[in-house]
Structure 1
Amino acid sequence: MDDAALDDAARTTYRYLRVSVVALTLLLAVSLTLEVARGGERFGSISGYYYSPVRSVLVGTLMAIGPALIAIKGRPGWEDTLLDLAGMAVPLVAFVPTPRELGPEVCGPGTASCVPPEYVPAVRNNVTALLVVGALALGVAWWGARRRGRPAAIGLTAASAAWLTVAVVFVVAPHLFLRVGHYAAALVFFLLTAAVAWLAGRRAGERTDLRLMSPDRYGRAYRTIATLILVTLVFGAGVVGGARLLGLRPWFGTVFVVESVLLVLFVAFWVLQTAENWDDEAVEHCPPTAL
């Protein structure tokens, strides 16, 4: 295969990877819509539908999105590193289900919500497997990064620190991990997405001849998406946290609405990313900076 054919194949691969992120998110949205329309059990969050027929699609889409984010190489520097870290966070969102209100008779004295006991062995197995494979991947990445210099070392250091943090909490404080692991991973994922969108907004103005919009409009759109993600996260945390501090119960669908808005913003960001980078040479993004 000649160089032109290789470049075309690489470009097509990158296009399909970016499109797949959008398609997988839409798959989850459709599955959720079908379950809600069916009139099954209602949950206060998208994550809660882990305990419904949506589970396979929920876990499957998240597991596919994670490696795709790692495989897609952003602009060299922090953009690429943040994408990799976001890809590392996604499997934890899939493997650690959100706790359910089961009462102290199931969850233990003084604890009203927990991961149902019958799901705990699966979480332990899946997260352990994830940590083992993650350690192997980090080892290979460090070995391959010896010739790539400081940027690669910075990205891999951040990835290694993230892996170590998860491993320590998982081993030392398993009950805490089960209680907050899902929420922490989801929060980190959306914060990283906001950071990537903001960086993309700063760099979009440097480009020319883009599809769909001008570079300045891409920049404004990315910065708007980043801001809206942060505002949505702060709003959700404020409503839920404030209600609990006051001894009140927030509206049942608060978290579901917040997560839905975040997913819409995530899709909007990746649609714009796909359009902006449609004609890019894949070789421009090849040197990885992290996992």
Structure 2
Amino acid sequence: MRIRTTSTQRTYRYVRLAIIGATVFLAIGVALEVAGGAALPSVSAAYYGPAGPVFVGALSAIALALLGLSGRSLEQGLLDIAAVLALAVAYVPTTIAAGVCEPVLRCVPPEVRATVANNGVAVASVVLLGAISGAILARVQKTASRGVAATIGVIVSLTLGAVVWASTAPEGFFAMAHEVAAVSFFVLIAAVAALAAWRPQSSGRRGAGLRHAYGVVAGGIIVTLVLLVVGIVTGVERTGFPVVFVGESIALALFGVFWVVQTVEFWNDADPGLRE
């Protein structure tokens, strides 16, 4: 017997599958660069190499897909904020050790900064226009709530804060913005996974399995970030172990696992975007 589905249901399936696909796309691009002999200090450093377009494109696709999963739950609000952070990770690159960085050890190379400024202004403009449009649509569609207002407020505040930071302290912005956005992104994903593990699940083995999987993702991301910070502070990387690359790779893998679990859980939901 053919199982009938709604257009909304199929759309949300494809959006979640697109996030998984974009994550795999990024992983393959970075893996190919490493296999080609590149000694990447971090996944984010792929921005400067052959996998650069894949890095930016995959994160842009993930950001758009996260925003496409409309809803009014706390989890969705956090994912909307994470989408904006993903854009920051994509278009504001990490620092690299380059000969042009003296007297500092790491920097965003001067020849890249014009590109970052151009893309940053474009991203900030689109995010602010999107926030305004989202507020108008929420009012027209009668879906406005304090949660929606809070999410839009956080997104606008983060965007304007980034603009002010980049304008008043560009060196500090280039030195830290990528790392701040990346860590914040994964913390939000861990928070969403923790909320998913905490909320009631269907009874039986399947529900227990979902709760366990979400808990593993949430705990795994937090432990990975803590160990990453410890590794950097204690100078593990100076021993030759690529602590940042390994940490980012594990966090990225856990992000992919999270969306596999989400896809399985909500595969048959009639209207998964309107869950309160």
- Fold match, TM over 0.5? yes
Q: Which runs of 5+ in 2 are unaligned?
A: none
Query: What residue is the counterpart of 2:153 in the other structure?
Result: 157
Q: TM-score, normalised by structure 2?
A: 0.91
Query: What residue is the counterpart of 2:101 in the other structure?
Result: 107
1:92 aligns with 2:88: yes
Contact 1:44 1:252 in 2 (8 A): no
String of CA shifts for 1:86-107, please: whole Å, max 9, x gaps: 111111111111111124xx23
1:151 Cα deviation after fit = 2.2
Q: Alignment partner for residue 258 of structure 1, among 237, 247, 271?
A: 247
Query: What residue is the counterpart of 1:57 in the other structure?
Result: 54
String of CA shifts for 1:210-267, please: whole Å, max 9, x gaps: xxx61122112101210110000000001102229xxx83534111110111111111
Query: What residue is the counterpart of 1:239 in the other structure?
Result: 231
In 1, Cα distance between the equivalents of 2:14 and 2:200?
A: 21
String of CA shifts for 1:18-47, please: whole Å, max 9, x gaps: 0111111111111222222222x3111111
In 1, Cα distance between the equivalents of 2:124 and 2:81?
A: 14
Identity fraction in percent = 37
In 2, Cα distance between the equivalents of 1:204 and 1:57?
A: 37
Query: What residue is the counterpart of 1:270 in the other structure?
Result: 259
Contact 2:43 2:248 in 1 (8 A): yes
In 2, Cα distance between the equivalents of 1:274 and 1:120?
A: 38
| Structure 2 counterpart of 1:95, one-letter code | Y
Contact 1:97 1:115 in 2 (8 A): yes
**Equivalent residues in 2 for 1:204-219 (5 A)?**
204-205=200-201, 207=202, 214-219=206-211
Query: What residue is the counterpart of 2:268 in the other structure?
Result: 279
| Structure 2 counterpart of 1:232, one-letter code | T
Q: Which runs of 5+ in 1 are unaligned?
A: none
In 1, Cα distance between the equivalents of 2:211 and 2:152?
A: 28
String of CA shifts for 1:121-156, please: whole Å, max 9, x gaps: 000000001111111111112223344232221222
**Equivalent residues in 2 for 1:1-291 (5 A)?**
8-39=6-37, 41-73=38-70, 76-103=72-99, 106-109=100-103, 111-146=104-139, 147=142, 148-205=144-201, 207=202, 214-243=206-235, 249=238, 251-282=240-271, 284-286=272-274
| Structure 1 counterpart of 2:273, one-letter code | H
Contact 1:204 1:216 in 2 (8 A): no
Deviating 4+ runs (over 6 angstroms)? none
Q: What is the aligned residue count?
A: 271
Contact 1:202 1:219 in 2 (8 A): yes
| Structure 2 counterpart of 1:217, one-letter code | G
String of CA shifts for 1:56-77, please: whole Å, max 9, x gaps: 1111101110010111135x33
Classify the secondary structure of the residue corresponding to 1:85: helix
In 2, Cα distance between the equivalents of 1:251 and 1:193?
A: 29
Contact 1:240 1:250 in 2 (8 A): no
